[in-house]
């Protein structure tokens, strides 16, 4: 899937958060969106996922304008600290995955995914008893269950320890090698070890820079 | 006393009707209650009940003017208004996304005000008590048929859509990535809830319906280890409350709804205290081991 963003601007009321952002991503790219808190990273993702209505600029998925886009199952999304999910009510990992696998998925691929992510050991555990790292693995599996083309992860390593971070980045790289498009949002500057293909840096003065690994493509300054 | 209650339960027609209505109430209330609690909308049944009361009061007002509709049964206009109330909550909920409880305060106030006005205009304020507190011991055969049909419709909707409704309830924003039409399932859920609340109103009452939906689930959550187990435990607690509540109401001649809710609260207290004691003992044992 190709993602085309043309002159995207977004404001909450009169406060501009994103100004004239343009970029193109092709299927199989790995984009890191980097910026400090408040630089507009999450707002950008909410625009991409249709949670924020785009009023200025355009977003196209292949040739479809986002306002007409309906095939959201092509996206897998893991939100920041899973804060939209009510994980205080009793629900086992197995039950969560059961209500999340609606599309007909290949059973053997599903089992392979569960095994790779170490889910079988915790399948009967209540999700509110899981550690940050376990919870994150569960939510990545949930996002992957329906075989998306694009996986979007918002601040994925915020609440996990070092060992889980290493496991997480290895998993993401494996998924990327298998052909998945990855968009990873982070406020961490330490990204040199990641094998990303594209980097979008967002700054609190609304300026942005978008570069293919090592080669600057566009620079937008207010 | 208990044996004469059991004897009457199966010999007296009105007791048998109360038992059937009670069993249905004991299943339907916590079943929908789990979704309501997951969505953090515990006051929604109360709000819908108040709006259903508007329909009932309008129906009584119209009949005082000689206008009859829906076979002179106020319940049907109650169902209609409850659905309108549900859709209003949904509308306000979307415009106050981060303050969802505001939507319920707006609708409950409107419901209370309008029903007070129409009850007063109908000059039938005497019947208000029954609608506020309900009476499971006076339900008719007609009501039994209605509650059985409602239970059947809810069962069919659950068999068809439980996955989708659960996915939307637990995580509304991510449900669209599962290919779910979120708006459609929000509307299906709110209409189903509105209908169930107004049907249960006659037996549970406006002021007690919310407790019957939420309190057994609150107790179930203390013991449940999964969604399924929490639901089953909630239904068992709810049925226990109905049964012992009916016994209390019958033996002491007190309102049935109030008796059922009191038993619900007692169960919740027992569960909370017992769980705390067990946890404390476990922690002190672990401390000793260390």
- Is the ipTM above a cut-off of 0.95? no
**What's the number of domains chain A is made of?**
1
Q: Among residues B220, B191, B203, which one has the least CA distance to residue B131?
A: B203
Q: Does A146 touch chain B (CB under 8 A)?
A: yes
B125 vs B40, residue with greater confidence: B40
Q: Among residues B195, B44, B59, B58, which one has the least CA distance to residue B108?
A: B44
**β-strands A30-35, A181-186 pairing:** parallel
When CB atoms are compared, the residue of A50, A90, A98 closest to B224 is A90
CB B200 within 8 A of CB B29: yes
Residue B258 has pLDDT above 50, yes or no: yes
Q: What is the mean pLDDT of residues B230-246?
A: 96
Q: Across the strands, what pairs with A15?
A: A12
Q: With an 8 Å Cβ cutoff, are A146 and B228 in contact?
A: no
SS3 B257: helix
Residue B176 has pLDDT above 80, yes or no: yes
Domain hosting A36: range is: 28-45+72-220
When CB atoms are compared, the residue of A77, A91, A98 closest to B174 is A77
Give, in order, the Cα–Cα distances in Å from B99 to each of A14, B94, B176, B200: 22, 9, 22, 28
Q: For residue A163, is it within any domain? A: yes
Rounded to the nearest 10 degrees, what angle do helices B2-11 and B13-38 cross at? 100
Q: With an 8 Å Cβ cutoff, are B37 and A89 in contact?
A: yes
* End-to-end CA separation in angstroms for chain B: 52
Q: Across the strands, what pairs with A8?
A: A21
- How many Cβ atoms sit within 10 Å of the Cβ of residue B17? 19
Distance from CA of B93 to the nearest CA of A (A): 16
Q: Among residues A211, A194, A197, A153, which one has the least CA distance to residue A28?
A: A197
Q: For residue A18, is it within any domain? A: no
Q: What is the mean pLDDT of residues A141-149?
A: 89
Give the per-residue pLDDT at A189. Answer: 67
Radius of gyration for chain B, computed over Cα atoms and rounded to the nearest angstrom: 20
Q: Which two tokens stand for residue A60?
A: 């196209």
Share the mean pLDDT of chain A: 85
**Tokens 């909410």, residue located:** A46
Q: For residue A164, is it within any domain? A: yes
CB B173 within 8 A of CB A83: no
Confidence of residue A222 (pLDDT cuts 50, 70, 90): very low
Q: Which two tokens stand for residue A128?
A: 């509110």
Model confidence pLDDT, tens digit, residues B51-101: 999 999 999 899 888 887 776 788 899 999 999 999 998 888 877 777 777
**Within the 28-57 window of chain A, which residues sit less than 8 Å (CB to CB) from chain B?**
50-51
Residue A138 belongs to domain with CATH number: 3.40.50.300
Model confidence pLDDT, tens digit, residues A10-31: 998 888 899 889 999 999 999 9
Give, in order, the Cα–Cα distances in Å from A22 to each of A51, A64, B287: 19, 17, 59
Helix (H) or strand (E) holding A95: helix A93-100
Q: For residue A56, is it within any domain? A: no
Which residues of B fall within a CB distance of 8 Å from A84? 171-174
Phi, psi angles (nearest 5°) of residue A4: -120, 120
Name the least confident of A69-83, A116-130, B30-44: A69-83
Which residues of B fall within a CB distance of 8 Å from A100? 167, 178
Q: What's the predicted TM-score (pTM) here?
A: 0.87
Separation of alpha carbons B62 and B201, rounded Å: 20
Specify burial of residue A215 (Cβ count, 10 A radius: 0-12, 13-18, 19+).
Answer: exposed
Give the per-residue pLDDT at A118. Answer: 83
* End-to-end CA separation in angstroms for chain A: 30
Give the per-residue pLDDT at B67. Answer: 84
Which residues of A fall within a CB distance of 8 Å from B174? 77, 79, 84-85
Q: For residue A62, is it within any domain? A: no
Q: For residue A59, is it within any domain? A: no
Separation of alpha carbons B238 and A13, rounded Å: 47
Specify burial of residue A118 (Cβ count, 10 A radius: 0-12, 13-18, 19+).
Answer: middle
Q: For residue A199, is it within any domain? A: yes
Contacts for A190-196: CB closer than 8 Å, 24+ residues apart = A191/A32, A191/A34, A193/A169, A194/A30, A194/A32, A194/A169, A195/A30, A196/A30, A196/A31, A196/A32
Model confidence pLDDT, tens digit, residues B99-112: 777 888 889 999 99
Q: For residue A117, is it within any domain? A: yes
């Amino acid at each position: 899937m190709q993602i085309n963003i043309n002159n995207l601007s977004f404001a909450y009321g009169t406060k501009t958060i994103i100004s004239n952002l343009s970029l193109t991503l092709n299927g199989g790219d790995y984009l890191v969106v980097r910026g400090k808190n408040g630089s507009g990273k999450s707002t950008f993702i909410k625009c991409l996922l249709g949670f924020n209505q785009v009023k200025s600029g355009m977003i196209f998925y292949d040739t479809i304008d986002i306002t007409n886009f309906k095939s959201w199952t092509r996206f897998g999304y893991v939100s920041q600290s899973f804060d939209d999910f009510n994980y205080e009510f009793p629900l086992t990992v197995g039950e969560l995955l059961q209500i999340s696998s609606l599309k007909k998925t290949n059973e053997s691929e599903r089992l392979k995914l569960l095994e790779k992510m170490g889910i079988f050991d915790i399948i009967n555990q209540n999700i509110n008893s899981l550690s940050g790292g376990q919870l994150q693995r569960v939510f990545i599996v949930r996002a992957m269950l329906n075989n998306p083309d694009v996986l979007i992860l918002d601040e994925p390593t915020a609440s996990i320890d070092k060992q889980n971070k290493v496991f997480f980045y290895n998993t993401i790289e494996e998924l990327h090698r298998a052909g998945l498009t990855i968009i990873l949002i982070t406020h961490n500057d330490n990204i040199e070890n990641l094998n990303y293909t594209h980097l979008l840096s967002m700054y609190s003065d609304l300026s942005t820079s978008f570069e293919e690994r090592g080669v600057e493509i566009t620079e937008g300054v207010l | 006393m208990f044996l004469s209650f059991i004897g009457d339960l199966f010999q007296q027609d009105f007791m048998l009707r109360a038992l059937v209505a009670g069993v249905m109430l004991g299943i339907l209330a916590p079943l929908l209650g789990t979704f309501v609690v997951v969505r953090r909308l515990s006051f929604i049944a109360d709000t819908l009940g108040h709006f259903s009361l508007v329909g009932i009061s309008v129906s009584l007002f119209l009949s005082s003017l000689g206008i009859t509709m829906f076979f002179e049964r106020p319940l049907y206009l109650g169902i209609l208004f409850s659905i309108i109330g549900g859709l209003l909550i949904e509308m306000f909920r979307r415009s106050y996304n981060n303050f969802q409880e505001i939507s319920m305060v707006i609708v409950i106030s409107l419901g209370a005000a309008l029903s007070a006005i129409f009850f007063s205009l109908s000059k039938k304020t005497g019947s208000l008590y029954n609608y506020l507190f309900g009476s499971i011991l006076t339900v008719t055969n007609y009501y039994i048929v209605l509650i059985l049909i409602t239970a059947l419709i809810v069962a069919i909707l659950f068999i068809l859509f439980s996955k989708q409704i659960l996915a939307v309830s637990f995580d509304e924003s991510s449900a669209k990535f599962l290919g779910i039409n979120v708006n459609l399932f929000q509307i299906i859920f709110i209409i189903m809830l509105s209908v169930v609340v107004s049907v249960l109103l006659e037996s549970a009452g406006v002021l007690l319906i919310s407790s019957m939906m939420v309190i057994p689930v609150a107790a179930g959550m203390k013991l449940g280890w999964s969604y399924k187990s929490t639901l089953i435990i909630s239904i068992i607690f709810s049925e226990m409350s109905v049964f012992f509540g009916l016994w209390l109401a019958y033996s002491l001649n007190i309102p049935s709804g109030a008796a059922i809710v009191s038993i619900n609260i007692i169960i919740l207290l027992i569960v909370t205290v017992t769980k705390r004691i067990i946890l404390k003992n476990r922690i002190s044992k672990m401390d000793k081991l260390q």
